[in-house]
Amino acid sequence: METRRINIPLFLLAGFIFGVKTYIVYRFIFQIEIDNFMQELIILLNPFITSIVFFGISIWIQNPLKQNAFIRYSALIGTIIIYFNLLFYRSFTDFITIPQLFQTSNLSDLSTSIISLIKIYDILLFVDVLIIWYLCKKLKDSGIKVYTKRNKILALVIFLLMLSGNFLLAEMERPQLLSRGFDREYLVKNIGIFYFHVYDIVVQSKMRSQRVLADDNDLITIKKYLKDEVRSDQRSNLYGIGKEKNIIFISAESVQSFVINNELNGEEITPFLNSLVHDKDTFYFENFYHQTAQGKTSDSEFLTENSLYPLPGGAVFFTHAQNEYHAMPEILKENNYESVVFHANTNSFWNRNQMYNSLNIDQFYDKDFYDVSEDNEIGWGLKDKEFFIQTLPYLRDLDQPFYAKLITITNHFPFELDEGDRTIEPYDSNSNTLNNYFPTVRYMDEAIEQFFIQLKAAGLYEDSIIIIMGDHDGISANHNKAMAEFLDKEEITPYDYLQLQRVPFFIHIPGYGEGEVMSKISGQIDIKPTVLHLLGIDTEHDIYFGNDLFHDDRKGFIVQRNGNFISEEYLYTNNTCYDRESGDVIGVDSEGKEDGTPCTPFKAAVQQELEYSDQIIYGDLFRFIDFEAK
Of 316-320, 477-481, 497-501, 504-508, the one with minimum mean pLDDT is 316-320
At residue 102, the pLDDT reads 59
Sheet holding 517-518, edge to edge: 363-365, 338-342, 402-407, 246-252, 464-470, 505-508, 282-285, 517-518
At position 589, the amino acid (one-letter code) is D
Closest CA to 406 of 372, 438, 374, 364: 364
> What does residue 300 show for φ and ψ, rounded to 5 degrees?
-65, -35
Q: Is the pLDDT of residue 107 over 60?
A: no
What's the mean per-residue pLDDT of the chain? 89
Q: Is the pLDDT of residue 93 over 90?
A: no
Q: pTM (2 decimals)?
A: 0.78
How many other CB atoms are there within 10 angstroms of residue 37's CB atom?
8
Three-state SS for 7?
A: coil
User: Any long-range contacts for 203-206 (C-beta under 8 Å, 24+ apart)?
Assistant: 203/313, 204/97, 204/98, 204/99, 204/313
62-75: average pLDDT = 89
At residue 175, the pLDDT reads 65
500-521: average pLDDT = 97
Model confidence pLDDT, tens digit, residues 528-579: 999 999 999 999 999 999 999 999 999 999 999 999 999 999 999 988 999 9
H or E element in which residue 63 lies? none
Taken in order 548, 551, 553, 557, the sign of the CA dihedral is positive
Q: Which residues share a beta bridge with 505?
A: 469
State the pLDDT confidence band at 309, using cuts at 50, 70 and 90. Answer: very high
Of 33-47, 67-81, 194-208, 470-484, the one with minimum mean pLDDT is 194-208
At residue 137, the pLDDT reads 83
Asked if 566 contacts 345 with a C-beta cutoff of 8 angstroms, the reply is: no
At residue 517, the pLDDT reads 98
4-23: average pLDDT = 83
d(CA 144, CA 153): 18
How many other CB atoms are there within 10 angstroms of residue 151's CB atom?
12
Percent of the chain at pLDDT > 70 equals: 92
Higher pLDDT, 58 or 397: 397
Closest CA to 505 of 309, 270, 257: 257
d(CA 543, CA 565): 21
At residue 136, the pLDDT reads 86
292-307: average pLDDT = 95
Closest CA to 286 of 252, 261, 269: 261
At residue 378, the pLDDT reads 83
State the pLDDT confidence band at 176, using cuts at 50, 70 and 90. Answer: low
575-592: average pLDDT = 86
What domains, with CATH codes, occur in the chain?
2-209 (no CATH), 240-554 (3.40.720.10)
H or E element in which residue 73 lies? helix 64-92
State the pLDDT confidence band at 471, using cuts at 50, 70 and 90. Answer: very high
Q: Is the pLDDT of residue 452 over 80?
A: yes
Higher pLDDT, 16 or 206: 16
How would you label 387-412 residue by residue, b for 16+ Cβ within 10 Å and e otherwise?
A: bbbbbbeebeebeebbbbbbbbbbbb
Of 80-94, 420-434, 561-575, the one with minimum mean pLDDT is 80-94
At residue 2, the pLDDT reads 46
159-179: average pLDDT = 80
Higher pLDDT, 512 or 595: 512
d(CA 232, CA 252): 30
At residue 3, the pLDDT reads 44
d(CA 341, CA 361): 8
25-51: average pLDDT = 86
Active site residues per annotation: 297
Question: How would you classify the pairing of strands 338-342 and 363-365?
Answer: parallel
> What does residue 225 show for φ and ψ, rounded to 5 degrees?
-60, -45
Q: Is the pLDDT of residue 593 over 60?
A: no
d(CA 11, CA 389): 62
R_g of the chain, CA atoms, integer Å: 26
d(CA 219, CA 622): 9
State the pLDDT confidence band at 178, using cuts at 50, 70 and 90. Answer: low
Asked if 405 contacts 251 with a C-beta cutoff of 8 angstroms, the reply is: yes
Closest CA to 333 of 349, 357, 353, 309: 357
Question: How would you classify the pairing of strands 288-289 and 517-518?
Answer: unpaired
At residue 112, the pLDDT reads 58
Q: Is the pLDDT of residue 218 over 70?
A: yes
185-189: average pLDDT = 80
At residue 100, the pLDDT reads 60
Asked if 83 contacts 467 with a C-beta cutoff of 8 angstroms, the reply is: no
At position 413, the amino acid (one-letter code) is F
Task: Please name the residues in contact with 1: beta carbons below 8 A apart, sequence gap of 6 or more.
Answer: none
Higher pLDDT, 139 or 626: 626
**Extended strands (E) in 287-352:** 288-289, 338-342
d(CA 452, CA 510): 11
Model confidence pLDDT, tens digit, residues 351-399: 898 899 999 999 999 999 999 988 888 877 899 999 999 999 999 999 9
Asked if 273 contacts 494 with a C-beta cutoff of 8 angstroms, the reply is: no
d(CA 78, CA 137): 19
Asked if 411 contacts 441 with a C-beta cutoff of 8 angstroms, the reply is: yes
How would you label 45-62 residue by residue, b for 16+ Cβ within 10 Å and e otherwise?
A: bbbbbbbbbbbbebbebe
How many other CB atoms are there within 10 angstroms of residue 265's CB atom?
11
How would you label 305-332 residue by residue, b for 16+ Cβ within 10 Å and e otherwise?
A: bbbbbbbbbbbbbbbbbebebbbbbbbb
Asked if 275 contacts 565 with a C-beta cutoff of 8 angstroms, the reply is: no
510-534: average pLDDT = 97
Higher pLDDT, 468 or 94: 468
How many other CB atoms are there within 10 angstroms of residue 268's CB atom?
18
d(CA 12, CA 2): 19
Whats the size of the chain, residue-wise? 630
Asked if 530 contacts 549 with a C-beta cutoff of 8 angstroms, the reply is: yes
Please give, one letter per residue, the 3-state secondary structure of 581-594: CCCCEEEECCCCCC
Q: Which residues share a beta bridge with 559?
A: 565
Percent of the chain at pLDDT > 90 equals: 64
How many other CB atoms are there within 10 angstroms of residue 274's CB atom?
18
Model confidence pLDDT, tens digit, residues 333-362: 999 999 999 999 888 788 898 899 999 999
At residue 612, the pLDDT reads 97
